[in-house]
Copies of this chain bind each other. A is one copy, B any other.
Amino acid sequence: MQDISEYLVKNKERFINELIHLLKIPSVSADPAYSQDVINASEAVKASLLEAGCDTAEICETNGYPIVYGEKIINPELPTVLVYGHYDVQPADPIDLWNSPPFEPIIKSTDIHPEGAIFARGACDDKGQMYMHVKALEFMVKTNQLPCNVKFMIEGEEEVGSENLGTFVAENKEKLANDIILISDTGMIANNVPSITTGLRGLSYVEVEVTGPNRDLHSGLYGGAVANPINVLAKMIAALHDENNHITIPGFYDKVEELSKEERAEMAKAPFSLENYKKALDIKAVYGEKGYTTNERNSIRPTLDVNGIWGGYIGAGAKTVIASKAYAKISMRLVPNQDWKEITNLFKTHFESLAPEGVTVKVTPHHGGQGYVTPIDNNAYKAASKAYETTFGKTPIPQRSGGSIPIVSLFEQELKSKTILMGFGLDSDAIHSPNEHFGVWNYLKGIETIPYFYQYFTELSK
């Protein structure tokens, strides 16, 4: 394969500017206020696929936001890679913690990204990482080096649970037929420590509502005499963990895969500095399930976190009120073998049982997905590993991630395909947080590495 380095040097500015163009579209799928922007982003992705060299690209309507499908078929006899990504982004809240507007991308240097990083919502998750694939295709097509067939399936509802993707996949099995699914929506350990994600956690996301009296009450006249929904909600949330930070939902751990001592010892070899971890987050101590290390807590162990809570008066100053209702958004990260629907039901039953008389509780499941462990002995893993060796000069480390891409297990079920997760972001890139960014070096390194994956995967598949 002709070296891509030269192509990158020549086109670097354009590659960055094209990504910035895409990042300017506030395609927040969770918030209906941005619905036209989400649509606009799908159109932009379609156009970019055609420009990069796809034979066809189309907007596929669903019951929610559309899925962009594109393909470049050079020979049906050759292997086919299906690239999955998403063009929707997380909400930018809390806006006031951003140092620059979330949808006005700027490039700034940081300690970790001395060559600059693009700051914008979606810079890393997942517009930047998805767009690496578009540009990698462009290189292979323009230089006549594409060694196999490529299909793209870029959706717009990943951040809200990919609700309509399952139907689309089930109804388009032939169109989506492939030999391997390739996704860049995870991270790697460090720029000098490449890694491949081999496990993802599942997810169950619910919203809870606690209702006490039928209206807000004066806390002097009613305080102490009726159940205060906020105090009750706090009590119920507190009861979800015991003193060792184990989750108390009956049956929650029944199917959790317990790793052997040897496997845990192997995991512990990954480079990690607890001191740097605490320093980066400005915390004096980590906190979590007793008996597990930090890296185990956020990868092989299931968790339960409140992602949002609200109730009563939250404006300036004081209001002596007892709220009628209190709310929380709660998510559980699940490990392989835990079924998200079963866990959602266990949560609902348990949470409702925690409510004292005097309040009513409503649990509304938002979305969820299964966890996944990818094999490391197949051609795809070997091809990816070799690609990293070529461009990083180092063998990547297999690593379980704490995040979730619920559709990976869906793909395996519907399309009978394995997935390979080649992520080029860093944990410190602040995805889902204010000041999300993506290193320019990482962006270009992704574009450089991906074509080698195609080359090696095609060679190994012969």
Contacts and interface: CB of A to CB of B under 8 A. Distances in A.
Contact of A318 (B160, B285, B320, B401): B160
Contact of A313 (B187, B216, B307): B307
Contacts of A434: 215-216
For the complex formed by this chain, how many copies does it contain in all? 2
Contacts of A159: 318-319
Contacts of A313: 91, 93, 307-308, 329
Given A287-B227, A298-B225, A32 B316 contact: yes
B306 A228 contact: yes
Nearest to A240: B231
A114 B367 CA distance: 49
Interface stretch (A18-26, A66-74, A379-387, A424-432): A424-432
Interface stretch (A52-60, A141-149, A173-181, A276-284): A276-284
Main secondary structure of the interface of A (DSSP, over half): loop
Interface in A6-55: 29-32
A86 interface: no
Given A31-B316, A315-B31, A318-B161, A224 B289 contact: yes
A235 interface: yes
A198 interface: no
Given A287-B227, A305-B223, A309-B312, A30 B319 contact: yes
A305 B231 contact: yes
A286 interface: yes
Given A224-B402, A306-B234, A309-B311, A215 B430 contact: yes
A237 to B, nearest CB: 4
Contacts of A312: 306-309, 329
Interface in A211-232: 212-228, 230-231
Interface of A: 29-32, 90-91, 93-94, 97, 159-161, 187, 201, 203, 205, 207, 212-228, 230-231, 233-235, 237-239, 241, 281-289, 294-295, 297-298, 301-303, 305-324, 326-329, 331, 333, 356-359, 366-367, 401-404, 427, 430-435
